[in-house]
Chains A and B, each alone.
Chain A
Amino acid sequence: MIRGRALQFLRRVAAIVEKDIAAELHSKEVVSAMLVFSVVALMIFSFALDLRGEMAEAAAPGVLWATVVFAGTLGLSRSLAREQQSGGMEGLLLAPVDRSAIFFGKAAGNFVFMGVVEVALLPLFSALFDVPLLRADVLLVLVLGTVGYAAVGTLLAAMAVNTRAREVMLPVLLLPLAVPVLIGAVQATRGLVEGATLAEVGSWIRILVVYDLVIVAVSLLTFGSVVEE
């Protein structure tokens, strides 16, 4: 009985993710915007910080995460704005689906979009800065950081699309709440790049995990209040 329900819940979440991916494959507006922005940001960082040699190696984790975080705000607000403009959110709310399934679906969709961009960025980073970032442990940090960021970002973007300021609102709301992700992920990535093992950057990993758990729980509890009409 409980297993049946859990399966049903997962199927609903999967259906929402599938819908988002299908829409994205059709329009390609979220991922392409994030990707192009990231490459431009990368270039701007190189000009601003004169990233060469040792300097590049020291700055790479910070530049990577700053790029991911800024590109993420673009993708998140685009993804929720699309839902809003097409009336998709109303449709989802009318469907006989739990609010938490809608939240998981939207957050997972945004996680996938951000993930695609990150995976595309890693080889580019490794090549440009001569820092080996395409590694399993760095990927793990990326996943942990992105889970919490996509979750809280989805919740806040759902609010931001209903405000007058819209695109400006999301980064202002989201970035100060993402301080633990940014510090934790940058420090973990830096440690790994400098040759530490996963266990040695354990306290940063722990901060990311706790953040993910707390944020997902709070977002789940409050998402219903955000989307209710």
Chain B
Amino acid sequence: MGRWRRDEGDVVLLAASGVAVMAALGMVFLYAPREATMGDVQRIFYFHVASAWVGFFAFFVTCVAGVGQLVTGARRWDMVSLSSVEVGLTFITMTVITGSLWARPVWGTYWTWEPRLTISAVQLLIYVAYGMLRASVESPERKARYGAVYGIVAFVTVPLSWFAIRWWRTIHPDILTGGEGMAITPRMTLTLVVAVGAFTLLYAAVLRLRVSLERARDRLTRVRLNLERR
């Protein structure tokens, strides 16, 4: 494994995601039109959808990295797997919180069992469990294996949970979710695309930083071991 250094990729990605997030913020508040029935509250939608997408994508990355870990046994894959869960958890927590904030003025309640909101909450619980599992295992090698297996099994259940929750809610229609029809204009679509792109860049930048933190930790452990041996 190479020496720890802040490489140029980190800086470029961070700068790019910073610019993109600023652009998205500008578009959300200045460029996107005011939604006719919901008003300004609807603007939270752009952050809500973008963070939901990044959360789901992050857990997909964890699943792929888990497969890589099980096949190669390389520490690198485990770092990506773990880091992606942590970053994904941050975004999915944002999804649940923005969803609740949106639901309050629009549907008159902080929580509705709306399928998309519910699946985000389920993912939140799953990946909190992933963290608890790792924290509760002693050996680093076993930690990596268990994390990989749980990351894979968990991710394959997410689409099934999604379908189950959606059918469950459509078969028992809820008055609260009746106001879903939102008139999307081209400006709104463009703003959403930029917001999703910005959040994805931000995810990539934070993921890289988190992985290099993990690498630095490994290096610190090795240095300590060497010192003790002397």
Q: A-side interface residues toward B, CB under 8 Å?
A: 152, 155-156, 159, 162-165, 169, 172-173, 176-177, 179-180, 183-184, 187, 203-204, 207, 210-211, 214-215, 218-219, 222, 225-226, 228
Given contacts A164-B136, A183-B168, A184-B164, contact A176 B153 (CB under 8 A): no
| Cα distance A225–B145 in the bound complex, in angstroms | 7
With A159-B149, A218-B156 as given contacts, are A180 and B133 in contact (CB-CB < 8 Å)? no
Q: Cα distance A78–B152 when bound, in Å?
A: 25
Q: Is the CB of A180 within 8 A of B164?
A: yes
Establish whether residues A177 and B153, one from each chain, have CB atoms under 8 Å apart when the complex forms: yes
List the 6 shortest-distance A-B pairs measured between CB atoms, nearest first: A163-B136, A183-B164, A180-B160, A179-B161, A180-B164, A176-B125
B138 within 8 A of A: yes
Query: In the complex the two chains form, is A210's CB within 8 Å of B160's CB?
Result: yes
Which residues of chain B have a CB within 8 Å of any CB of chain A?
Answer: 70, 122, 125-126, 129, 132-133, 136-138, 142, 145-146, 148-150, 152-154, 156-157, 160-161, 163-165, 167-168, 171
Contact check: which of A155, A164, A176 meets B129 at CB < 8 Å? A176
Given A165-B136, A179-B164, does the pair A215, B122 have CB atoms closer than 8 Å? no
Are B163 and A207 in contact, with the CB atoms below 8 A? yes
The answer to whether B146 and A169 have CB atoms under 8 Å apart is: no
* B145 with A173: CB separation less than 8 A: no
A214 touches B156 (CB 8 A): yes
Chain A residues positioned under 8 Å from B153 (CB to CB): 152, 155-156, 177, 215, 218-219, 222
Contact, CB under 8 Å: B133 / A163: yes
The residue from A155, A162, A203, A228 contacting B137, defined by CB atoms under 8 A apart: A162
A187-B168 contact in complex given A177-B154, A207-B163, A210-B160, C-beta closer than 8 Å: yes
Contact partners of A176 in chain B: CB under 8 A: 122, 125-126, 129, 154
A157 to B137, CA, bound (A): 14
Chain A to chain B contacts (Cβ below 8 Å), 25 pairs: A152-B157, A159-B146, A159-B149, A164-B137, A172-B132, A173-B133, A177-B126, A177-B157, A179-B122, A179-B161, A180-B164, A183-B161, A183-B164, A184-B164, A187-B171, A203-B167, A207-B164, A215-B156, A219-B153, A222-B70, A222-B148, A222-B152, A225-B70, A225-B149, A226-B149
What is the chain B residue whose CB lies nearest that of A223?
B149
Tell me the bound Cα distance from A28 to B112 in angstroms: 44
A215 to B163, CA, bound (A): 16
A32 to chain B, nearest CB (A): 28
Q: Determine the chain A residues whose CB is within 8 A of the CB of B152 once the complex forms.
A: 218, 222
Q: A177 vs B145: C-alpha distance in the bound complex, in angstroms?
A: 18
- Tell whether, in the assembled complex, residue A183 and residue B149 are in contact, meaning their CB atoms are under 8 Å apart: no
Contact A162 B125 (CB under 8 A): no
**B129 close to A179 (CB less than 8 A):** no
Cβ 8 A contact of A211, one of B125, B146, B160, B167:
B160
B165:A183 contact, CB within 8 angstroms: yes
CB pair B145–A226 under 8 Å, yes or no, is: yes
Are A173 and B129 in touch, CB under 8 angstroms? yes
Are B160 and A214 in touch, CB under 8 angstroms? yes
Q: Do B168 and A159 touch (CB < 8 A)? A: no
A37 vs B156: C-alpha distance when bound (angstroms): 31
Residues of chain A within 8 A of B132, CB atoms compared: 165, 169, 172-173
Task: Provide the bound-state CA to CA distance between A203 and B160, in Å.
Answer: 12
Which of chain A's residues has its CB closest to B154's CB? A177
Residue of A nearest to B146 (CB): A159
CB-based nearest B residue for A224:
B70
Give the residue name and chain of the B residue nearest to A187 (CB): B168
CA distance in complex: A164, B142 (Å): 13
Please indicate the chain B residues that have their CB under 8 angstroms from the CB of A156 in the complex: 150, 153
A225 to B146 Cα, complex, angstroms: 8
Contacts of B157 in A (CB 8 A): 152, 177, 179-180, 211, 214-215
Q: When chains A and B are docked, how far (Å) is the Cα of A187 from the Cα of B163?
A: 13
Set B129, B146, B161: member contacting A180, Cβ < 8 A: B161
Per the bound structure, the CA–CA distance linking A152 and B142 in Å amounts to 19
How far, in angstroms, from A214 to B161 measured CA to CA in the complex?
13
| Distance (whole angstroms) from the CB of A102 to the closest CB of chain B | 15
Nearest neighbor of A163 in chain B, beta-carbon distance: B136
Identify which of B145, B150, B161, B164 gathers the most chain A CB atoms within 10 Å of its CB: B164
